[in-house]
């Protein structure tokens, strides 16, 4: 253990769809109290918004948009202790699912964070579309009250209360839940315009059915893609994660 981070996860890789990178991982993160809210979307609406080099993945004929609020702890370089004022903050992702060759991954349309330092570092080092936001996360009545408003675009906002409502389970390979969650890399275009892959490792997702009251959700407004009122919802209490530096990929 490193603090409350479970470093033993790196010794359990049998569940991965491909081997872990042989080079050393460089960062720890713990993702807490996640809500996976997913909507099926016509692939033709997403295709122009994802770099052509990345194959847009579908399940049951649909592409999928995920809006994923959570809060981070243990965000630190390898060998460096996590510090409360820099290593813990809320984050909110808007994502879809792509692949390159035989490796499915995540493509982020946006990542909002409650840490200006994290936003600056991620933009500079990884060319990821991070945005500063005013964010609050509170535990209340057995659930999570979550609010986020983007600093540079206050109309891009999420206000929701969510909670698990069932027993935890592990998604079966080939299921919709597996497709939406069991991904071990993200794809982006680096500052030189090259497609890149950033690999991560974690244990299989322990998912629970969830309920959510979504008061405001304009997170996809910049994409000009409306979402229905009935997302597919899952909750996960915690996931310890290690990450590697991104590498350019040949396509």
Number of domain units in the chain: 1
Task: Determine, yes or no, domain membership for 238.
Answer: yes
Task: Determine, yes or no, domain membership for 2.
Answer: no
pLDDT of residue 231: 97
Task: Determine, yes or no, domain membership for 1.
Answer: no
Range of the domain at 97: 7-18+25-246
Task: Determine, yes or no, domain membership for 251.
Answer: no
Task: Determine, yes or no, domain membership for 201.
Answer: yes
Number of other residues whose CB lies within 10 A of the CB of residue 136 = 12
For 35-68, write each residue's pLDDT tens digit: 999 999 999 999 999 999 999 999 999 999 999 9
Paired residues of 69 in beta bridges: 92
Cα 138 → chain centroid: 20
For 61-119, write each residue's pLDDT tens digit: 999 999 999 999 999 989 887 776 678 999 999 999 999 999 999 999 999 999 888 88
Task: Determine, yes or no, domain membership for 184.
Answer: yes
pTM: 0.95
Q: Is pLDDT above 80 for 198?
A: yes
Task: Determine, yes or no, domain membership for 69.
Answer: yes
| Two structure tokens written together for 215 | 């008061």
Task: Determine, yes or no, domain membership for 198.
Answer: yes
Cα dihedral 232, 159, 126, 129, rounded to 10, equals 100
pLDDT of residue 251: 67
pLDDT of residue 171: 98
**Residues of the chain with pLDDT > 70: what percent?**
98
Write the DSSP string, the chain: -BTTB-GGGGG--TT-SSPPPSSPP-EEEEEEEEEEEEEEE-HHHHGGGS-TTSEEP-BTTBEEEEEEEEEEEEEEETTS---TTTS-EEEEEEEEEEEETTEEEEEEEEEEES-HHHHHHHHHHH---EEEEEEEEEEETTEEEEEEEESS-TTSEEEEEEEE-S--EEPPTTSHHHHHH---EEEEE-TTS-EEEEEEEEPPPEEEEEEEEEEEE-TTGGGT----S--EEEEEEEEEEEE---EE---
Residue pair 30/74 in contact by the 8 Å Cβ criterion: yes
54: CATH: 2.40.400.10
């Amino acid at each position: 253990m490193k603090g409350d981070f479970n470093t033993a996860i790196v010794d359990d890789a049998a569940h991965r769809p491909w081997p872990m990178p042989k080079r050393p991982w460089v960062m720890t993160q713990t993702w807490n109290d996640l809500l996976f809210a997913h909507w099926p979307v016509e692939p033709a609406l997403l295709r122009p918004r994802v770099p052509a080099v990345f194959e847009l993945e579908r399940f049951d004929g649909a592409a999928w948009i995920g809006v994923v609020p959570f809060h981070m702890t243990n965000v630190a370089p390898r060998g460096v202790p996590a510090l409360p004022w820099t290593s813990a903050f809320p984050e909110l992702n808007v994502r879809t699912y792509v692949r390159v060759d035989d490796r499915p991954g995540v493509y982020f349309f946006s990542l909002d964070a409650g840490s200006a330092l994290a936003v600056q570092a991620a933009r500079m080092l990884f060319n990821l579309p991070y945005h500063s936001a005013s964010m609050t996360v509170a535990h209340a009545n057995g659930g999570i009250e979550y609010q986020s408003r983007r600093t540079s675009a206050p109309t891009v906002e999420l206000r929701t209360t969510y909670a698990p409502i069932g027993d935890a389970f592990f998604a079966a390979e080939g299921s919709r839940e597996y497709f939406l969650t069991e991904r071990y890399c993200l794809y982006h275009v680096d500052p030189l315009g090259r497609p890149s892959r950033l690999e991560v490792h974690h244990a299989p997702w322990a998912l629970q059915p969830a309920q959510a009251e979504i008061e405001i959700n304009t997170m996809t407004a910049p994409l000009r893609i409306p979402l229905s009122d009935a997302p597919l919802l899952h909750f996960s209490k915690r996931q310890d994660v290690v990450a590697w530096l991104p590498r350019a990929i040949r396509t």
